[in-house]
Structure 1
Amino acid sequence: MVSRKRVLGLSAYYHDSAACLLEDGQVLAAAQEERFSRKKHDDRFPHHAVEFCLKHAGLSIDQVDYVAYYEKPFLKFERILETHLAFAPRGLKAFMMAMPTWLGEKLWLPQVIAKELGWDKQVLFAEHHESHAASAFFPSPFERAAVLTLDGVGEWATASFGVGSDNRVKILHEMRFPHSLGLLYSAFTYFAGFKVNSGEYKLMGLAPYGEPRYVQTILEHVIDLKADGSFAMNLAYFDYAAGLRMTSAKMNDLMGGPPREPESALTQREMDIACSIQVVTEEIILRMARHVKKETGEKYLCLAGGVALNCVANGKLLREGIFKDIYIQPAAGDAGGALGAALAVHHHYLDQPRQITVGQDWQQGTYLGSEYNEAEIKATLNGFNASFHSCGSIDELTQRTTQCLKQAKIVGWFQGRMEYGPRALGARSILADPRQPDMQSRLNLKIKFREGFRPFAPAILAGREAEWFDLDRPSPYMLLVAPVAESHRLPVDADLDHNHSGLSKLKIPRSTIAAVTHVDGSARIQSVDDQTHPVFHALITQFEKETGCPLLVNTSFNLRGEPVVESPAQAYTCFMRTDMDVLVIGPFLLFKEEQPPWEETENWRDEFQLD
């Protein structure tokens, strides 16, 4: 009998807990805890995600050989303790708040993990940025590559670079806390009135509405940026090292007032701040990339860490041509640490060889989560007394869905295995016709219940990118932003554009695919091929056949403040709680007007198993 080496990777206790199961170096299943618990960015032990991974593989925990955790808690505790001692007596309140959790739980993680899993063997620990680096390089399509990781902070490291080759990733250099690009960006996220660790996307989306008025202010006062991309932060402007806030009162003076109150009206100041920190972030990343290229001499680059989710910076990095190509881990944040830790154990600890198909990553489109068969979906719909139509073939399904999209209807789309990572990539998505000029505002305000400035992404048939965007390669994970091609841009009157400032710029159509074109003429692109998601590819193909447009609006299937839906029950509930017109779930089509009346109850989460 062939002996299989199975590794369960875990990330938990900071944000975006997740689990990942490998067998002989191949990922069998991976998912974030939030999808099951319904608590956005859930940081608790990933019980549900572990249960899913084991169930999907048909295994018990006793059949797992190794458990890997994505960082080293003692090193992290050392950093927290030394930081508080360095800033004492400032930060005493924050220190006293953190200590009970550390002394009661986090310092005992080997025992805690063993107890939570029912595990009686050793728990292995990778370093935080080792986990990020492993998650970036080992699934990549490159035989060897430079690796750059960027986030808030792990144990001590906030950024690192190294080289991946064969079955090893070697870290060559790191930048250390409290100087951090992730924390710098999060500090300005906080200052603009958005929530840290979840509002960074909003800051990036807000940036094109502003002007880079504060760039020099940031470079002259807030950070000391070097030619190699390293920098020192002037800690007088920040409070995260010892306090309970991200920025200090001195930042208020520099930025002309206090942080914006969450949910209050956005002003031109916040737009200009967003634009400015985005410009600074891009400059830091470009300098770092040039330095990494110089130090390693590698042709390719792999990226991970939360900052690698900044798709605007990624697009600029690609266009600069510093590296021949880049690969970005689709679960680049802490959730991807579960995968990275498992891969680090498989290759570094067990010294197992790396299997690679040159030019093709092996993350299976990152469709690594749960799936539901036709019988399970049907039982759920019957439980709601829902009205649905069954399609006998993929052709019928895509033809009927295309008719709905052509009528400017908004479609909930639930097909196949759930995505691992923050992006909806056509498994748990909301879809629409990108040609409709009012579709962005409709989706934001009536479906997602979120800020009207938030942009949406186009999902385009792989191989067609260059026809519609200034992009000469696939972007399968929606992690690259590129300008819309001139041939699809609309002429914009310069005086009209100048007279519109801030969010009023939304009123001006800028391309023939207005719903996915941001105010700066760019789009965040997802390429869809017929191998990783054949049903989604078939739908876009059918849409092009009938409209001449080979792309759709694709956004995540969720409401503001909630995780992406995981189950058919969650999909139906989200469908009924919004102005979504159609739900396509497995082979079934549901039309809103045919559904029984929806009654919102206080305990609807319990009734529909959304705990």
Structure 2
Amino acid sequence: MGYILGISAYYHDSAACLLKDAEIIAAAQEERFSRIKNDESFPTEAIKFCLKFANISLAEVDHVVFYEKPFLKFERLLETYVHFAPRGLKSFLKAMPIWLKDKLFIKKNIAKALHCIDPNWEKSRTILFTDHHHAHAASAFYPSPFDEAVVLTIDGVGEWATTTVSIGNMAQLTLKKEINFPNSLGLLYSAFTYYLGFEVNSDEYKVMGLASYGTPVYKQLIYDHLIDVKADGSFLLNMDYFDYCTGLKMTHKKFDKLFGHPARAKGDELLPFHKDMASSIQKVTEEIMIKLTQSLYREFAIDNLCIAGGVALNCIINSAIRQHSGFKQIWVQPAAGDAGGALGAAYSVYYTHLSGLRNVDLQTDAMKQSLLGPSYTQKEVIAALHVYNLNYEKVAHDVYYRKIAAYLADGKVIAYFKGRTEFGPRALGSRSILADPRNAEMKAILNAKIKFRESFRPFAPAILAEFADLYFSKGSKNRYMLFTENYLGNADKVPDTVSIPGAVHVDGTARVQAVNKSHHPDFHQLITAFYNLTGCPAVINTSLNVMNEPMASGPEDAIRCFLNTEIDILAIEGLLIDKKRLAFEELSLPGYYQ
């Protein structure tokens, strides 16, 4: 059946994915090339990468598919403005010219952009479109290790839907029910993100991290005034308190009055009130998701659950679902946000449009560890190092990881670059910053001197899968950092373990990445070397970037992050660069600062 190119774009986190029949060949977010966080522009560079990796031209692609239907989205926009009129005139006047000039002609714009990539791709060729939430559902079910599952998608909004429930059975994906705009659990959470002074569609994970520092004292107020939750977990929002339907902001003045404070301005001090607000919305969202998934388990009596959509990146909620819903197995798409829509759209073409057959491996998923982006040869890395006039040490493979382990044990912070770039928001040991989790002060050091971000932000452990049961409750074998686990591994509580306080959140949990030797051999070898040296089977693993910057993709991204922070060592494709050995006067560093 050939090649299928899936595209997501024009809202946030645009991406491209290339399938060959049902196999994922390549996938990447445009931000990794443009260096614009959550880049929404047409994914030209991501498409070029996918084609280059497959060694094909665009003209050889059999089907191109976009991850949503623009006309349905425009219909929702118009109907919403009519419903709330005369409120929202200012927002309407701002939105309409953009739609009438550009967004209604997405098909034409896509065709033009593809023709620019490859003039042999004819503008008249068919471009397919799929529903936004169907793309999410396809991305959740088809690469999962299940032949049958309940599929839940939940985010801000697609065309109309904000939450959908489908049943996946082999190659079939059947929509069963949905909740529509403006009733949206994702937008409720985003409204609190906005109110707390963070960026909507970008910083929701900050609210999740901040929640552990507060108490959910406003939970009942939220239930009493903002959201009506039914017995089955479905819900209705009270739109008197929100402004996202017609306004240019998320919340209404009535929202401020309800909680007794104005929205926090970006950069203002985080007060105990803000921590309690974060805790309250986190707890409400968690309880609704538990109620919803418990209802789905009772209704459909299927043991497997797949989840996608932006809310699926809330790992605390995922863990609560796993613990309380009744489902025996849960699989969450690692690129659960809109980037994953490109993957789901491509899958939708193969299984729905082309009636492809599905072969399921019940032992593992089809995501290839989500290492689906670009890789670079050592020769390419050396060329990039020469641009920056950086000396490097070339290390034999058998001692490379032992040297990295020794640096980590000595308290050094490592920028680690190896193999293909991750697809999705999590660093999984390919574009990572690594540190020693035994040091309780390492969290503060990384936040202040490396990531340049808020002090409340936690760091996650990457642990050898064979040790996960010893350190964490239930010993999650999740490879994608999509669940939190209760930390058990204090040496005084669990003998024969080395404590890892630097990788545990203030609430005693950690967002665990279990590293399996067969799935991720290089990263497993690195952590094993650290374990052999220290007795500690885990490292702190966070993304190779600073705040408000996309994760590194190419060698130059990693080099700039290394030079512009207090990272000590750059370990990149078998090469080691020690910052202490670099004489300042020898450097030729665009954008370098200390």
User: What TM-score do you get using the length of structure 1 for normalisation?
Assistant: 0.93
Q: 1:224 aligns with which of 213, 225, 228?
A: 228
* Greater alpha carbon shift after TM alignment, 588-597 vs 179-188: 588-597
Question: Per-residue deviation at 1:100?
Answer: 1.6
Between the aligned partners of 1:346 and 1:304, the Cα distance in structure 2 is 19
Alignment match, 2:110: 113
Between the aligned partners of 1:96 and 1:174, the Cα distance in structure 2 is 30
Q: 2:323 aligns with which of 319, 322, 327?
A: 319
Between the aligned partners of 2:383 and 2:2, the Cα distance in structure 1 is 36
Cα deviation code 1:430-461 (max 9, x no counterpart): 00000001000000000000001100000011
Question: Per-residue deviation at 1:597?
Answer: 2.6
Alignment match, 2:10: 13
Q: 1:600 to 1:216 in 2, by over 3 A?
A: farther
Between the aligned partners of 1:239 and 1:321, the Cα distance in structure 2 is 32
Cα deviation code 1:48-68 (max 9, x no counterpart): 100100011101110000001
Show structure 1 runs of 5+ residues with no match.
492-510, 606-611
Q: How does 1:86-97 map to 2 (within 5 A)?
A: 86-97=83-94
Residue type of the alignment partner of 1:38 = R
Q: Contact conserved, 1:581 with 1:591, CA < 8 A, in 2?
A: yes
State the SS of the aligned residue for 1:463. Answer: helix
Question: Per-residue deviation at 1:599?
Answer: 10
Between the aligned partners of 1:60 and 1:103, the Cα distance in structure 2 is 32
Q: 1:539 aligns with which of 526, 540, 548?
A: 526
State the SS of the aligned residue for 2:153. Answer: strand
Q: 1:249 aligns with which of 242, 246, 253?
A: 253
Alignment match, 2:511: 524
Between the aligned partners of 1:422 and 1:489, the Cα distance in structure 2 is 35
Is 2:571 aligned against 1:567? Answer: no
Cα deviation code 1:404-439 (max 9, x no counterpart): 000111000000000000000000000000000100
Q: 1:598 to 1:91 in 2, by over 3 A?
A: farther
Alignment match, 2:373: 369
Q: Contact conserved, 1:386 with 1:596, CA < 8 A, in 2?
A: no
Between the aligned partners of 2:408 and 2:586, the Cα distance in structure 1 is 27
Q: 2:301 aligns with which of 274, 286, 297?
A: 297
Alignment match, 1:416: 419
State the SS of the aligned residue for 1:174. Answer: strand
Residue type of the alignment partner of 1:437 = A
Identity score, percent? 49
Aligned-pair RMSD on alpha carbons?
1.6
Is 2:283 aligned against 1:267? Answer: no
Residue type of the alignment partner of 1:563 = P
Question: Per-residue deviation at 1:270?
Answer: 0.4
Residue type of the alignment partner of 1:575 = F
Q: 1:582 to 1:170 in 2, by over 3 A?
A: same
Q: 1:398 aligns with which of 382, 397, 401?
A: 401
Alignment match, 1:306: 310
Q: How does 1:444-459 map to 2 (within 5 A)?
A: 444-459=447-462
Question: Per-residue deviation at 1:321?
Answer: 5.2
Between the aligned partners of 1:382 and 1:88, the Cα distance in structure 2 is 61
Q: 1:558 aligns with which of 545, 553, 559?
A: 545
* Greater alpha carbon shift after TM alignment, 321-330 vs 592-601: 592-601
Show structure 2 runs of 5+ residues with no match.
116-120
Alignment match, 1:158: 162
Q: Contact conserved, 2:476 with 2:485, CA < 8 A, in 1?
A: no
State the SS of the aligned residue for 1:452. Answer: coil
Cα deviation code 1:227-267 (max 9, x no counterpart): 11111111111000000010010011111110111111100
Is 2:477 aligned against 1:474? Answer: yes
Cα deviation code 1:28-57 (max 9, x no counterpart): 000000000000000000001001000111
Cα deviation code 1:267-299 (max 9, x no counterpart): 000000000000000011111101211222111
Question: Per-residue deviation at 1:9?
Answer: 0.2
Question: Per-residue deviation at 1:489?
Answer: 6.9
Is 2:4 aligned against 1:32? Answer: no
Q: 1:488 to 1:348 in 2, by over 3 A?
A: farther
Is 2:79 aligned against 1:82? Answer: yes
Question: Per-residue deviation at 1:557?
Answer: 0.3
Q: 1:427 aligns with which of 426, 430, 434?
A: 430
Q: 1:599 to 1:386 in 2, by over 3 A?
A: closer
Alignment match, 1:123: 127
Between the aligned partners of 1:601 and 1:81, the Cα distance in structure 2 is 54
Question: Per-residue deviation at 1:463?
Answer: 2.7
Is 2:587 aligned against 1:597? Answer: no
Is 2:242 aligned against 1:238? Answer: yes
Q: 1:100 aligns with which of 82, 86, 97?
A: 97
Between the aligned partners of 1:596 and 1:363, the Cα distance in structure 2 is 43
Between the aligned partners of 1:376 and 1:211, the Cα distance in structure 2 is 50
Is 2:55 aligned against 1:58? Answer: yes
Alignment match, 2:291: 287
Between the aligned partners of 2:66 and 2:309, the Cα distance in structure 1 is 16
Question: Per-residue deviation at 1:87?
Answer: 1.2
Alignment match, 2:351: 347
State the SS of the aligned residue for 2:474. Answer: coil
Cα deviation code 1:457-480 (max 9, x no counterpart): 000111321100002341100000
* Greater alpha carbon shift after TM alignment, 463-472 vs 372-381: 463-472
Between the aligned partners of 2:78 and 2:492, the Cα distance in structure 1 is 54
State the SS of the aligned residue for 2:470. Answer: helix
Between the aligned partners of 1:75 and 1:296, the Cα distance in structure 2 is 29
Q: Contact conserved, 2:155 with 2:163, CA < 8 A, in 1?
A: yes
Between the aligned partners of 1:521 and 1:541, the Cα distance in structure 2 is 25
State the SS of the aligned residue for 1:464. Answer: helix
* Greater alpha carbon shift after TM alignment, 345-354 vs 462-471: 462-471
Between the aligned partners of 2:582 and 2:197, the Cα distance in structure 1 is 39
Q: Contact conserved, 2:489 with 2:499, CA < 8 A, in 1?
A: no
State the SS of the aligned residue for 2:165. Answer: strand
Between the aligned partners of 2:505 and 2:491, the Cα distance in structure 1 is 13
State the SS of the aligned residue for 2:584. Answer: coil
Q: How does 1:197-212 map to 2 (within 5 A)?
A: 197-212=201-216
Alignment match, 1:581: 568
